[in-house]
Structure 1
Amino acid sequence: MKLKIIERNGLRALTTAQLAESYGTDVKVINRNFQRNSERYVHGKHYFSLTGDDLKEFKGSRQNDDSLKYASVLYLWTEKGAWLHAKSLNTNQAWNAYEMLVDDYYNVQQQVKILTEREQLIASMKLSLETAEEINLVKGEMNEIKNMVKQQITLDYGEQRRIQKAVGQKVYQLENKKSARASLFGELYKDIKDRFGVASYRDIKRKDMQPAIRYIEAWLPRKIT
């Protein structure tokens, strides 16, 4: 018997009519056994009862099921509820049917879903978007690292020579006397270190190269001798 899948709160279930047909009995027997042993059945564990709007919605989803036409309350039986009914009937047919239901219906939760072309396209676009976002994130982090590295790079040999030449040109511009130039060299290099917070002009950051040149070109000693 091909059973139309019914799920409630994440559990598969069967109507009373389906269970009775599977066990080779009728609905009245199933209902009578339930009424006689109602204290053993727990709602949400062994069964679900549908009334009102829930029942109306369920009927609407199974319009060709005549057994539901006049029902004012509908019971849906879980695997545990089906076991209690098999125990109440205690027939070979009921137990055989119960084992078959467990194997072929209740425990078959994973259904293979074939994606439509549209669903495949959406999934592919979503994956591409997530990948692009990850790539952009990595690029952003790499740029941030590069910027941090640039902030720490000091002058290379050629750039150091440019600083030296700028200092020499400034000192020679300010002082003609050879004997007085030594103190100006010392004063200018000291002011450069103080201005850029370094132990030596060689430690000036590459990003400060041009500001250092401009500082040297505009520099004036505290006292010209």
Structure 2
Amino acid sequence: MKTITIYNTQLPVVVLRGQRVVSTETLAEGYGTEATNIRTNLSAHKHRFVEGEHYFIISGEELSALRVSNPDAQISSKVRSMAFYTERGASRMSKIVDTDEAWDFFGKLENAYFHPAQIQPKTQNEIIAAMALANVDQERRINHVENKVDEVAETIEKIKRGSIPAGWAGFSVLRVKCGMTDAKCRTLVKSYDIPTDTITIMTPEGQPRPMKIVLEADFMATFRGMMSEAEQRNTKWFHPNMGLFQVIGWEAK
């Protein structure tokens, strides 16, 4: 059996004699009062409620049938008769109870319970348009995936080739060009903030690993400038930013 949630409360959908109705207990909980107060109001304002129009009192076989067909209503087997309110009856009772909760809850009942929104079937043109939009969206997704696959394939190919962008070099190349050790090349890069980047190369074992590369022209220009300021000490050189270091074949650089 269908239920409707209003303010975190599960309401069983109860249909009597062709229309939706709510029980005394449901109204009491939603209106912020006691079930006995709802019953007292019904008795005290009997002249304002017409049975069959504002409410129903069911008992006997009709109550037994409802108990079996609508287990979500949780009607106790000890109950001999029950009152159920129509939309007009629930509205009238909310005015008598006259609390903020009652007015607010009936508004929710009116929209969500008594008059639930009906989903209108789509026309053939609307269905065709929706299918066309879905196809366009799917094609965009496929193209996006294909582009990503191409990018990944290109990246993998570059890794396999171990390609280094033009104008850049690894430290193994730079140490040969300048004659300093690998460690001193790295010190020069760090001390003078020479531009660097990281690429991925493939090891002989077939495993990818990161490799730092340096802008070669900037490195060599900085190296020559540093050497013009360095002080030679026997077979080695000294610079405040570099410490004591050795340069092989400096005269030819």
TM-score by length of 1: 0.46
| Structure with the bigger percentage of helix | 1
Query: Higher relative contact order by CA 8 Å / sep ≥ 6: 1 or 2?
Result: 1
TM-score by length of 2: 0.41
